[in-house]
């Protein structure tokens, strides 16, 4: 699995597993939108990595759902 580093951008919108250096935090999940830059960790700085766990599409970008006029 390809791991992304802080500063790299999410290629896909989805749920990403964050894995911290030295295990100071257990792995956990975060949501990133396509194009979001992954942040540095306040404790392990640039030694956190992000793995795409589940890609997803925004509901308004899914062709199976139509956005009706007047709905937000």
Q: Where are the domains of the chain?
A: 14-58
Cα dihedral value 37, 58, 26, 41, nearest 10: 20
Give 15: exposed, middle or buried? Use CB within 10 Å, 0-12, 13-18, 19+. Answer: middle
pLDDT, tens digit (0-9, with 9 covering 90-100), for 30-46: 999 999 999 999 999 99
Q: Which of 41, 37, 33, 42 is nearest to 7 (CA)?
A: 37
Residue 62: pLDDT band (50, 70, 90) is confident
Q: Is 13 helix (H, G, I), strand (E, B) or coil?
A: coil
Cα 47 to Cα 40: distance, rounded to the nearest angstrom? 8
């Amino acid at each position: 699995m390809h791991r992304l580093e802080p500063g790299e951008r999410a290629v896909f919108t989805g749920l990403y597993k964050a894995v911290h250096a030295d295990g100071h935090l257990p792995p956990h999940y975060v949501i990133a939108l396509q194009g979001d830059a992954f942040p540095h960790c306040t404790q392990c700085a640039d030694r956190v990595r992000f793995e795409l766990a589940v890609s997803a599409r925004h509901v308004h970008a899914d062709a199976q759902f139509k956005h009706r006029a007047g709905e937000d």
